[in-house]
Amino acid sequence: MKARLVLQVAPRARATAVAGRYGAAIKLRVAAPPVGGAANAELVRFLAERLGVSRSAVTIVAGASGPRKTVEIAGLGTEAASRVLLAGKRPA
């Protein structure tokens, strides 16, 4: 089972956090600059921590060099991953 999420990412934020919906995507603010893959690394770290999976379970499958990204998370369904991100709570 793999969750597939579309994210709109805004780098250089004060803190990494979910900012809500952005059309069909989920908007995330990332506390890292978009230089040398730092923002992508912070995004993967945040998603893994928030969703309770390992970093290796989170893969950016599209949009690695732009603000709109598609990520896959192994071990979760799309609805569950979306619900956890938007609710701000880790899965039980």
What token pair was written down for 3? 């969750």
User: Mean per-residue pLDDT for 21-42?
Assistant: 93
d(CA 15, CA 3): 24
Residue 42 has pLDDT above 70, yes or no: yes
Give the strand pairing for 58-62 and 25-29. Answer: unpaired
Class of domain 2-87: alpha beta
Q: What does the pLDDT look like over 65-91, one tens digit per residue?
A: 999 999 999 999 999 999 999 986 555
pLDDT of 92: 47
Report the sign of the C-alpha dihedral through residues 72, 66, 23, 43, in that order.
positive
Residue 49 has pLDDT above 60, yes or no: yes
Give the domain ranges of the chain.
2-87
